């Protein structure tokens, strides 16, 4: 139990600030999640944005893949669906940098 707490505490230190999760299971990848992932990372790097971009499994909403979940301080946590490369770049620019949520792409709210 103690060991688990150590891992947990240490890990939580690293998990602060904004983050983006991309559903990277077979259903997501088949729908283009890998392209979205690359675009998100590329756009973040180009704009020098500090945001953790991570992968996760399938959230069950396979009809709306690729799914991108975004958490930015001060903005409600939302999940964008059917994300394409341009949407991905818009997520970085508008949602992460501009704190303005994109219209017409949200499939799930926290």
- Residues at the site binding other proteins, with contacts judged by CB under 8 A: 1, 3-4, 7-8, 10-12, 15, 21, 23, 25-27, 29, 54-64, 67, 69, 75-76, 81-82, 98-109
Closest to other proteins by CB, 17 or 76: 76
Task: Please report how close the Cβ of residue 64 comes to other proteins at its closest, in angstroms.
Answer: 7
Residue placing its CB nearer to other proteins in the complex, 50 or 110: 110
CB 37 to other proteins: min, Å? 12
b/e 44-55 (16+ beta carbons within 10 angstroms → b): beeeebebebee
Nearest to 43 by CA among 2, 82, 97: 97
């Amino acid at each position: 139990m103690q060991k688990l707490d150590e891992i947990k505490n240490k890990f939580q230190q690293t998990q602060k600030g904004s983050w983006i999760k991309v559903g990277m299971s077979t259903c997501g990848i088949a729908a283009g999640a890998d392209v979205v992932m690359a675009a998100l990372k590329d756009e973040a790097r180009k704009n020098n944005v500090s945001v953790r971009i991570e992968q996760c499994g399938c959230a069950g909403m396979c009809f709306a893949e690729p799914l991108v979940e975004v958490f930015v301080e001060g903005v409600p946590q939302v999940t964008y669906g059917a994300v394409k490369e341009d949407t991905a770049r818009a997520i970085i620019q508008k949602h992460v940098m501009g704190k303005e949520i994109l219209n017409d792409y949200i499939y799930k709210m926290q």
